[in-house]
Amino acid sequence: MTDNKIKIFTISLGCPKNRVDTERMLGAFGNNMIAANAPEDSDLILINTCGFIGPATEESVDTILEAADQIADLSPKPVLAVAGCLVSRYGALSEQIPEVDLWLSTHELDKWPGLVQKALNREFTVGLHRAVSTGPAYAYLKISEGCSHSCRFCTIPSIRGPHVSRPLQGLVEEAKYIVDQGIPELILVGQDTTAYGSDLNDPDTNLRNLVEKLLPLKGLEWLRLMYLYPAGLTDSMLSFLAQAGKPLLPYFDIPIQHAHPDVLASMGRPFARDPRKVIDRVRTHIPHAVLRTSIIVGYPGETEEHFNTLVDFVRETRFQHLGVFAYQPEEGTPAGEMEQLPEELREDRRIRLMEVQAEISREILEEKIGETIQVLVEEPNDEWEGLFNGRVWFQAPEVDGMTYISAPEDGLELKPGMMIEAEIDNVTDYDLVTLVK
């Protein structure tokens, strides 16, 4: 029977941390909900927004307005609830968007289910687990909220508040619940995962202990750590990570943001001003480590000399994965008040650096042609029948390249969530093409 169930249409924008908030909200409905395929078919429309930078804010507003337009002529209308960082940054925009029935700030995450219950005028028993929405291949585990750093370009501390670690035992239980569903990959996320536990007066709550408790989980094939701040990658931590073994992946997502000391100092980055030190430290302990980073170009005051230093650093370091972002001035940040470089110059530098990275990425991938490697199957390819999308261990979902899997017609039947052996047959700048063995 579905007559009494709450039909929910959900859109989650922004980062994986936002997605986890959405999944926790949906999990609170327990067995009281079913997923709606369109806004007009729902009792509740939940839009979890991003407000990190201007373009994300614009996307969030456009998404809200589009949903409101789709239900404008309905009677009765679904409840339109808007949650997340847009609300935390700008407050309830009731005057600007009166169509919204409920505004939910990230500062009241635990109150979301109760507030939605009230808006729906429906009572239900609140569930205890998340409703994982990333499919059967992987799930995120958010280990902390907020950030206590003071980077001059960033809005996160003002939106999400200071760094707050989630209880260790609760995370272990949540991870076990996820893996018990047959999901083979768990990805730890937070604004600064290496800072986990630093806000608590508990010597047993730290990233090392959390990882140690997750490693033995039955069914966990890959454990991936994201958002590892350089300052937290000490020799002691790296020595532990090097010896941890499977299922921990030797994959390091380290947000560097720039390479020139003058720019890093102006950014207010909370670590040593030479990022080569942390790169060398990682490679000393784990020579086969795969490195990903994110970089901002066009920051106020960045000269052509600064940018050339950055390009040389990228060529020298040879990151496997690199995200490059043209700086966006944000209201309420110190950097937003500085004299800005022309937008065209910022974008030109982004393109130039990505061209360098494309060459590096292809060269690294070409070296792997002919190797047999474990591939995690994610989903059927939308365009080619019989082709599947997946990832190998050095590809994180959503931010890195993907692996295309071609299975022989009379061979293994591929299904999402499967781990298979395949041979790397070809590559593009960022993706792999494999054949099932």
Q: How many domains is the chain partitioned into structurally? A: 3
Could you tell me the CATH number of the domain that includes residue 317?
Answer: 3.80.30.20
pLDDT of amino acid 1:
39
Q: CB-hemisphere CA count at 13 Å for 216?
A: 4
167 lies in the same domain as 202 = yes
Whether residues 265 and 319 fall in one domain: yes
Q: Is residue 129 part of a domain?
A: no
In sequence order, what are the residues at sequence separation of 6 or more whose Cβ sits closer than 8 angstroms to the Cβ of residue 299?
A: 153, 258, 263, 266, 267, 327, 335, 341
CA distance 251 to 290: 5
Task: Please name the residues in contact with 382: beta carbons below 8 A apart, sequence gap of 6 or more.
Answer: none
User: Residues 73-82: what's their mean pLDDT?
Assistant: 90
Looking at 330, 347, 366, which one is the last position of a domain?
A: 366
The pLDDT tens digits of the residues spanning 332-361 come to: 899 999 999 999 999 999 999 999 999 999
268 φ/ψ angles, rounded to the nearest 5 degrees: 75, 35
Shared domain check, 229 and 108: no
pLDDT averaged over the chain?
Answer: 91
pLDDT, position 53: 84
Q: For residue range 384-416, what is the model confidence (pLDDT) as tens digits?
A: 888 899 999 999 999 999 999 987 766 678 899
pLDDT tens digits, residue range 13-59?
988 999 998 998 888 888 888 888 889 889 999 999 998 888 889 99
pLDDT in tens, 48-63: 999 888 888 999 999 9
What is the spatial distance between Cα 71 and Cα 127, in angstroms, rounded to a whole number? 28
User: Would you place residue 270 in the very low, low, confident or very high pLDDT band (cuts 50, 70, 90)?
Assistant: low
Q: Which residues contact 204 (CB under 8 A, 6 or more apart)?
A: 168
> Residue 96: which domain range?
6-120
193-213 confidence digits (pLDDT tens):
999 999 998 999 999 999 999
